[in-house]
Amino acid sequence: DVKVTQSSRYLVKRTGEKVFLECVQDMDHENMFWYRQDPGLGLRLIYFSYDVKMKEKGDIPEGYSVSREKKERFSLILESASTNQTSMYLCAIRLGSTNEKLFFGSGTQLSVL
């Protein structure tokens, strides 16, 4: 089975802190995605990566950056956390081309105080 692991289930940070959210896959998949999920807004794409050191902005990249130094790990970085970044963050991988499904991690609920 495909496994997508997000390092923390719950995280509490203070405004202005630098925050790292980690996502690790156990297979050799190219495509990895970071979404945030908010009530009434659904899932919104922050960034995605289709290979090592390759990244593309999604729909809401402001305030975020990403890092993909190794194929299995895709990190989301909040350079200076703000309260409006309190959200559920979901990492996903795709096994193949655009018409293939996404496999999601269990999510990280981030609270910025």
Partner 1 sequence: AQSVTQPDIHITVSEGASLELRCNYSYGATPYLFWYVQSPGQGLQLLLKYFSGDTLVQGIKGFEAEFKRSQSSFNLRKPSVHWSDAAEYFCAVAFFGNEKLTFGTGTRLTIIP
Interface residues toward partner 1, by CB under 8 A: 31, 33, 35, 40-45, 48, 50, 56, 58-59, 90, 94, 98-99, 101-102, 104-107
Q: Which is nearer to partner 1, 31 or 81 (CB)?
A: 31
CA atoms within 13 A on the CB side of 57: 6
Strand 10-13 to 108-112 pairing:
parallel
Q: Which is nearer to partner 1, 53 or 101 (CB)?
A: 101
With beta carbons less than 8 A apart as the criterion, state whether 44 and 36 touch: yes
Place of tokens 């963050």: 89
Q: Which is nearer to partner 1, 52 or 113 (CB)?
A: 52
Q: Which is nearer to partner 1, 48 or 78 (CB)?
A: 48
Cβ at position 112, least distance to partner 1 in Å: 22
Cβ at position 101, least distance to partner 1 in Å: 4
Distant-in-sequence, close-in-space partners of 39: CB < 8 Å, separation ≥ 6: none
